[in-house]
Amino acid sequence: AQKVTQAQTEISVVEKEDVTLDCVYETRDTTYYLFWYKQPPSGELVFLIRRNSFDEQNEISGRYSWNFQKSTSSFNFTITASQVVDSAVYFCALSAFDSNYQLIWGAGTKLIIKP
């Protein structure tokens, strides 16, 4: 069975602090993809990143960085120098060949950035 766990239901930090959102996944497939999506209050899902199972390199994009570790089945997301506009619900998701690449979602982490 495939599963994504985001243990942090809600995180609240003060602007300019760094914050890490955790994601742990389970799958028996050897070929799979991991994603992070942002859902601001407007409700639309915004794609942030995709990572395939064969690429464990960490990635940095501006203030965002992702740490993929197959050994611990984790794909954590860090926001550096957080801003109020980062406030949103962030979802981690998994898709795999054996399930027609349908997205299996975590429950989401609500991130609140206080000014």
Stated length of the chain? 115
| Minimum distance, C-beta of residue 3 to other proteins, in the bound complex (Å) | 12
Please identify which residue in the block is written with the tokens 């996944």: 25
Q: Which is nearer to other proteins, 12 or 102 (CB)?
A: 102
Please identify which residue in the block is written with the tokens 């940095």: 60
Nearest to 66 by CA among 79, 52, 82, 84: 79
Q: Which residues bind other proteins (CB under 8 A)?
A: 33, 35, 37, 43-45, 47, 50, 52, 91, 93, 95, 100-108
Q: Which is nearer to other proteins, 75 or 91 (CB)?
A: 91
| Minimum distance, C-beta of residue 16 to other proteins, in the bound complex (Å) | 28
| Minimum distance, C-beta of residue 81 to other proteins, in the bound complex (Å) | 27
Cα–Cα–Cα angle for 20, 25, 29, rounded to 5 degrees? 145
State how far the Cα of 115 lies from the Cα of 108, in Å rounded to an integer: 22
Nearest to 90 by CA among 106, 102, 70: 106
Q: Which is nearer to other proteins, 64 or 105 (CB)?
A: 105
Q: Which is nearer to other proteins, 16 or 50 (CB)?
A: 50
| Minimum distance, C-beta of residue 50 to other proteins, in the bound complex (Å) | 5
